[in-house]
Amino acid sequence: MTVAVFTFVLLLGNVLKEVLALLVNQQASFGMVLKAIGLLIPFVMVFALPMGMLTAALLICGRFSADNELTAVRASGVSLIAVVSPLLLLSVALSCLCGLINMHVAPKCRVAYKGLLTEVGARQASAFLPEKTFVKIATNYIAYIGKVNESELEDILIYDLDAEGRVGSYARAETGHLTVTVDETNHVYHLLLRDVWHVSVFEGKYNAVPADRIRLSYTNTPAARREQGLRISDMTFLQLREELQRLESRIGVPPPLIRGTPEERQKKLQEMYANREDLTTPIKVQIHRQVAFSFACIGFTLVGIPLGIRAHRRETTFGIALAIVLVLAYYSLVILGESLDTNPEYFPHLLVWLPNFIFQAIGVVLLWRANRGL
d(CA 374, CA 365): 11
Task: Report the pLDDT value the prediction gives residue 118, as an integer from 0 to 100.
Answer: 66
State how beta strands 152-161 and 141-149 pair: antiparallel
**What mean pLDDT is reported for the chain?**
77
CA separation (Å) from 170 to 144, 197, 208, 267? 11, 8, 9, 48
| More reliable by pLDDT, 167 or 313 | 167
pLDDT-derived band of residue 94, with 50, 70 and 90 as boundaries? very high
d(CA 330, CA 358): 9
pLDDT tens for each residue of 223-262: 444 444 567 778 888 888 888 887 777 554 444 444 556 5
Tell me the mean pLDDT in the region 83-110: 91
Single-letter amino acid code for the residue at 267? K
- Say if residue 270's pLDDT is above 70: no
Please report the sign of the dihedral spanned by the C-alpha atoms of residue 277, residue 280, residue 286, residue 288. negative
d(CA 91, CA 111): 28
Task: Report the pLDDT value the prediction gives residue 222, as an integer from 0 to 100.
Answer: 47
d(CA 324, CA 2): 12
- Say if residue 264's pLDDT is above 70: no
End-to-end CA distance of the chain: 32
**Is the separation of the CB atoms in 290 and 103 below 8 Å?**
yes
pLDDT tens for each residue of 25-35: 556 677 777 88
pLDDT tens for each residue of 325-347: 888 888 888 888 778 777 777 78
d(CA 304, CA 313): 13
Task: Report the pLDDT value the prediction gives residue 13, as an integer from 0 to 100.
Answer: 74
233's CB contacts (< 8 A; 6+ apart) are 107, 110, 286
| More reliable by pLDDT, 88 or 276 | 88
To the question of pTM greater than 0.95 for the whole model, the response is: no
Alpha helices in 235-315 (DSSP H): 237-251, 262-294, 296-311
137's CB contacts (< 8 A; 6+ apart) are 128, 129, 143, 189, 218
Mean pLDDT lowest among 38-47, 114-123, 319-328: 114-123
How remote is the C-alpha of 76 from its chain's centroid? Answer: 50
- Say if residue 97's pLDDT is above 90: yes
| More reliable by pLDDT, 305 or 189 | 305
Q: Where are the domains of the chain?
A: 2-122+281-371, 129-220
**Is the separation of the CB atoms in 180 and 204 below 8 Å?**
no
- Say if residue 92's pLDDT is above 90: yes
Q: Is 168 in a helix, a strand, or coil?
A: strand
Sheet holding 134-138, edge to edge: 134-138, 141-149, 152-161, 167-182, 187-202, 205-220
**Is the separation of the CB atoms in 116 and 182 below 8 Å?**
no
Task: Report the pLDDT value the prediction gives residue 120, as an integer from 0 to 100.
Answer: 64
